[in-house]
Amino acid sequence: MSETLTSARVALVGNPNSGKTALFNALTGSRQKVANYAGVTVERKEGMITSAAGRNLYVLDLPGTYSLRARSPDEAVTRDAVLGRLEGETPPDVVICVADATNLRLVLRLAMELKQVGRPMVLALNMYDIAQRQGLRIDLEGLSREIGAPIVTTVATRKRGIEDLVAQVDALAAAGQLVGENTWREPNAAEIRQAHAEAQRLVRTYVRPPEHPDTWTGKIDKVLLHPVGGLAILLGLLFVMFQAVFTWATPAMDGIEAIFGALGQFVGAYVSNDLLRSLISDGIIAGVGSVLVFLPQILVLFFFIILLEDLGYMARAAFLMDRIMGGAGLHGRAFIPLLSSFACAIPGIMSTRVIDSKEDRLTTILVAPLMTCSARIPVYTLIIGAFIPNERVWGFASLQGLVMFGLYASGILSALAISFVIRRVFWRGTVEPFLMELPTYKMPEPKSVLRNLWIRAKIFLNRAGRIILPMMILIWVLSTFPYPPEGATQPAIDYSFAGMIGHAIQPLLAPIGFNWQMSIALVPGMAAREVAVAALGTVYAIGDAENNVGALGTALANHWSLATGLSFLAWYVFAPQCAPTLGVVKRETNSWRWPVIMFVYMVALAYTASFIVYHTAVALGGG
Amino acid sequence: MNDISTRPAAEAPPVEGAIVRLSEASLGDVGTIVDVRAESSPDNHGVNLEELQRRLLEFGFVEGARIEVIHEGAIRRDPIAVRLDDMRVALRRRDAEDVYILLDGAKT
């Protein structure tokens, strides 16, 4: 049967931090496809290489794990793919077990588990250059004989050993070695101990400890994990990150806005049919543009996240934050998703997959939209500019800046409070154990950082196309039809479905000080928060409101009381004014239950907050 | 290999000061893991005790492993980071209750 194997399936399995993804990149280069596994939202990364013998090898990069005994959805995919149980996946012909050559003990235990599965295996000792530099000696022949698998040494980041690895995989595929019996089953405590003892014996016998062990990691950690200094550095890093998100991204964002504006006009000039023109330029182009404009910020944020992750810092950040977030019932690993949510809740919610337990993950998803995403900024800027005097307080601080800070702080504090409540209402009991390897610090590879950034961008664009575009068209329909009657005196949107919905919900919103114009603006504002600015411009008949914030601000200051303005701000801190987020929550949780719960609790919170703010402000004379 | 995890609590090593729970170890404590059990505070981990024990074992918290407490968090000195043989692992004190360490220099 062997000669008939013109292609083979190869699975990459390894511990987290073993450089598995770098090896995958070195193997497959740019010929990669990123998708999702059927039914689960775990990223499926596959690439193809052609071996010297002309065989096509389809390489699957499986999520990192310490054991085939899966705990998170990610690890379950690894287990099922290796065992050939994953629906819609052909079981692998060859398994590559990727090991960090400087840290062999845990991966040898994983390798033993993989051997039990009975499929041909190659052990790739990655980061071999670091092992050599440290003076670590490994008896490759002896180790290979004991574990019963060929061993290849690789340096994925320098593409060393890759040809050798491909040749070994190819040889195994060519030998068509009959797949042995699968004797793997979940090990119990005694079996794990036994496997560890065996791994320990292998390490003692075949590995000579390093002559110059890495001492940098310990030295750096003395500073970065210092109970006080470490937290201060983390906060400093976050501050730099946010500065960068808002300053570096601005030119690119202006560029994207200009391009979409020009595109809209260009198309407008060539499409004679009014309705079609409006659909294309006001609905699709303007709509997609209003979401794409966040791409630069998302990329800047992810640039930092990927960099810190590759460096090995993210596990440290989780360590520093675990206790603080644990007080609110959040897992230390929720830190990264919540951080991403400051740019946009969508990538934040997508990155909750790193959290093992379902309950911890859902809690994080539910509170992620409370983090002040960048789409709120245009709304905040508009309202603050219109209602908060540009004064200095205490001699140095700007009052407007303080209000902005207060809005961010209310988002964070409410997220902590809500997760605290969720932990008591939906699922009692404690968060999952926090057990995390603190990897050795490594210099990030520029190429791999860029590649990961590109993958993030593609995922976001894909999402924008599939979820946001239909949503935009729906909202355009609601704000366009039916047409205003002849001789209409009000702006067209007033007569549309959006207008009707706005008028219908206005009595409900009257107690929090909203007039009908605001109620109408909330409907298109469901597409993305900042669309409300354009919508307010439409109802107050200010052309090109987004570029004419001054005029709109003046109009608002004339029409709204201070109490109404503050109430609107409070609304935007909490309200689920973002249909794409709800769509992503549905996708990630595979049920409508959680987006519905999210919508209801956020509306309730927004209403309560606005009510309190409005009536307090009225009582203090701001009505 | 005898599975000492099933040993009843009453037979816990009574040597005072020499053997400590990892959850109560201080910064700088160095020693050897002598026992990893599944018995304390069953409702306090988010997973059952056997699962917690298996996770600890999988990370290398096994009898005979060398361990040193190298970092502590700011609030109630929690979580902690330990050097475990040749790797570094972070964990919460409450999940480390059943890991027993024989401190270096202690007489058994």
- Closest to A328 (Cα-Cα) out of A421, A410, A406, A408: A421
Minimal Cα–Cα distance from A166 to chain B, Å? Answer: 30
Judging contacts by C-beta atoms under 8 Å, the chain A residues touching residue B47 are 357, 432-433
Residue A309 lies in a domain: no
Judging contacts by C-beta atoms under 8 Å, the chain A residues touching residue B71 are 221, 225, 319
Within 8 A by CB and 6+ apart from A411, the residues are: A370, A371, A372, A573
Q: Taking a C-beta distance cutoff of 8 angstroms, is the pair A369, A345 a contact?
A: yes
CB contact under 8 A, A193 and B79: no
| Interface mutation vs chain A, best among B30, B49, B71, B82, most A CBs within 10 Å | B71
CB contact under 8 A, A106 and B55: no
Residue after which a domain boundary falls, among A193, A208, A223: A208
Q: Does A70 touch chain B (CB under 8 A)?
A: no
Within 8 A by CB and 6+ apart from A394, the residues are: none
Looking at the structure of chain A, the number of domains it has is 2
Specify which residues A57 forms β-bridges with.
Answer: A8, A49
Judging contacts by C-beta atoms under 8 Å, the chain B residues touching residue A66 are 58-59
If you measure CA to CA, which chain B residue comes closest to A435? B91
Cα A252 from Cα A238, distance rounded (Å): 21
Cα A517 from Cα A458, distance rounded (Å): 37
Judging contacts by C-beta atoms under 8 Å, the chain A residues touching residue B26 are none
Q: Taking a C-beta distance cutoff of 8 angstroms, is the pair A512, A610 a contact?
A: yes
CB contact under 8 A, B45 and A430: yes
Residue A498 lies in a domain: yes
Cα A287 from Cα A464, distance rounded (Å): 10
Minimal Cα–Cα distance from A75 to chain B, Å? Answer: 14
Within 8 A by CB and 6+ apart from A272, the residues are: none
Q: Does A196 touch chain B (CB under 8 A)?
A: yes
By Cβ distance, the residue of B52, B71, B89 closest to A437 is B89
Higher pLDDT, residue A336 or A618: A618
Sign, CA torsion A382/A387/A389/A392? negative
Walk me through the domains of chain B, giving residue ranges and CATH numbers: 16-103 (2.30.30.90)
| Interface mutation vs chain B, best among A66, A313, A438, A442, most B CBs within 10 Å | A438
Within 8 A by CB and 6+ apart from A373, the residues are: A341, A342, A343, A344, A345, A529, A578
Judging contacts by C-beta atoms under 8 Å, the chain B residues touching residue A228 are 74
Model pLDDT, residue A305: 83
Given the DSSP bridges, would you call strands B30-36 and B66-75 parallel, antiparallel or unpaired? antiparallel
CB contact under 8 A, B46 and A319: no
Residue A132 lies in a domain: yes
Q: Taking a C-beta distance cutoff of 8 angstroms, is the pair A453, A306 a contact?
A: yes
Residue-wise pLDDT for A29-68, tens only, equals 877 777 767 666 677 889 999 988 889 999 999 988 999 9
Higher pLDDT, residue A565 or A270: A565
**Number of other CB atoms surrounding residue A395 within 10 Å:** 5
Q: Taking a C-beta distance cutoff of 8 angstroms, is the pair A320, A230 a contact?
A: yes
Residue A215 lies in a domain: no
- Closest to B66 (Cα-Cα) out of B31, B101, B16, B92: B31
Residue A463 scores a pLDDT above 80: no
For residue A75 the two structure tokens come to: 């690890």
Decide: residue A45, CB within 10 A, 0-12 exposed, 13-18 middle, 19+ buried.
buried
**Number of other CB atoms surrounding residue A366 within 10 Å:** 23
Highest-confidence segment of A248-252, A287-291, A415-419: A415-419
Judging contacts by C-beta atoms under 8 Å, the chain A residues touching residue B38 are 189
If you measure CA to CA, which chain B residue comes closest to A194? B1
Q: Taking a C-beta distance cutoff of 8 angstroms, is the pair A12, A150 a contact?
A: no
CB contact under 8 A, A438 and B78: no
| Interface mutation vs chain B, best among A66, A110, A193, A215, most B CBs within 10 Å | A193
Residue A395 scores a pLDDT above 80: no
Residue A397 lies in a domain: no
By Cβ distance, the residue of B45, B78, B88 closest to A438 is B88
Cα B45 from Cα B94, distance rounded (Å): 8
CB contact under 8 A, B58 and A432: no
By Cβ distance, the residue of B62, B64, B92 closest to A434 is B92
Judging contacts by C-beta atoms under 8 Å, the chain A residues touching residue B64 are 197, 200
What distances in angstroms separate CA A535 from CA A295, A488, A508, A584, one per listed residue? 22, 19, 20, 24
In the 3-class helix/strand/coil scheme, how is A571-612 assigned residue by residue? HHHHCCCCHHHHHHHHHHHCCCHHHHHHHHHHHHHHHHHHHH
Q: State the pLDDT confidence band at A234, using cuts at 50, 70 and 90.
A: very high
What distances in angstroms separate CA A170 from CA A5, A481, A587, A599, one per listed residue? 10, 62, 38, 52
The full length of chain A comes to 623
- Closest to A330 (Cα-Cα) out of A240, A479, A205, A432: A432
Model pLDDT, residue A90: 85
Highest-confidence segment of A91-95, A251-255, A493-497, A536-540: A91-95
Residue A138 lies in a domain: yes
Mean pLDDT over A146-158 rounds to 93
| Interface mutation vs chain B, best among A102, A186, A222, A435, most B CBs within 10 Å | A435
For A396-405, A511-520, A595-604, which range has the lowest pLDDT when averaged over its residues? A396-405
Given the DSSP bridges, would you call strands A43-50 and A32-36 parallel, antiparallel or unpaired? antiparallel
CB contact under 8 A, B64 and A430: no
Model pLDDT, residue A201: 94
Residue A486 scores a pLDDT above 70: yes
Q: What angle do CA A204, A207, A213 make, to 5 degrees?
A: 110
Residue A560 scores a pLDDT above 60: yes
Residue A271 lies in a domain: no
Say how far residue A544 (Cα) sits from the centre of its chain.
32
By Cβ distance, the residue of B3, B72, B92 closest to A322 is B92
Place of tokens 């601080």: A397
| Interface mutation vs chain A, best among B39, B56, B62, B97, most A CBs within 10 Å | B62
Task: Determine the angle formed by the axes of helices A140-147 and A105-117, rounding to 10 degrees.
Answer: 40
If you measure CA to CA, which chain B residue comes closest to A213? B86
By Cβ distance, the residue of B44, B58, B91 closest to A430 is B44
Model pLDDT, residue A36: 67
Percent of chain A at pLDDT above 90?
A: 38
Residue A81 lies in a domain: yes
| Interface mutation vs chain B, best among A430, A440, A441, most B CBs within 10 Å | A430
Q: Write down the mean pLDDT value for chain A.
A: 86
By Cβ distance, the residue of A67, A209, A430 closest to B58 is A67
CB contact under 8 A, B79 and A434: yes
- Closest to A362 (Cα-Cα) out of A599, A43, A588: A588
Residue-wise pLDDT for A244-260, tens only, equals 876 788 888 888 888 88
For residue A439 the two structure tokens come to: 């990897």
Tell me the count of A-B CB pairs closer than 8 A: 133
Q: Does A319 touch chain B (CB under 8 A)?
A: yes
Model pLDDT, residue A326: 84
Residue after which a domain boundary falls, among A208, A230, A258: A208
Mean pLDDT over A222-238 rounds to 92
Minimal Cα–Cα distance from B101 to chain A, Å? Answer: 17
Residue A133 scores a pLDDT above 50: yes
Q: Taking a C-beta distance cutoff of 8 angstroms, is the pair A357, A386 a contact?
A: no
By Cβ distance, the residue of B43, B57, B89 closest to A438 is B89
Cα A492 from Cα A473, distance rounded (Å): 17
If you measure CA to CA, which chain B residue comes closest to A437? B89
Cα A237 from Cα A601, distance rounded (Å): 32
- DSSP label at residue A440: P
Within 8 A by CB and 6+ apart from A46, the residues are: A32, A33, A35, A58, A59, A60, A61
Residue A365 scores a pLDDT above 80: yes
DSSP string, A217-253: HHHHHHHHT-TTHHHHHHHHHHHHHHHHHHHTHHHHH
Residue-wise pLDDT for A198-222, tens only, equals 999 999 999 998 998 888 999 999 9
Model pLDDT, residue B3: 46
CB contact under 8 A, B46 and A432: yes
DSSP string, A39-95: TS--EEEEEEEE-TTS-EEEEEEPPP-S-SS--SHHHHHHHHHHHT-STT-PPPSEE
Q: Taking a C-beta distance cutoff of 8 angstroms, is the pair A45, A468 a contact?
A: no
Minimal Cα–Cα distance from B33 to chain A, Å? Answer: 13
Model pLDDT, residue B14: 46
Model pLDDT, residue A413: 93
Minimal Cα–Cα distance from A302 to chain B, Å? Answer: 25
Model pLDDT, residue A602: 96
- Residues in chain B with pLDDT < 70? 1-17, 106-108
By Cβ distance, the residue of A67, A209, A322 closest to B79 is A322
Mean pLDDT over A250-279 rounds to 84
Q: What is the CATH number of the domain that holds A69?
A: 3.40.50.300
Structural domain range at position A601: 466-622
Q: Would you give the end-to-end CA distance of chain A in angstroms?
A: 84
Residue after which a domain boundary falls, among A183, A208, A233: A208
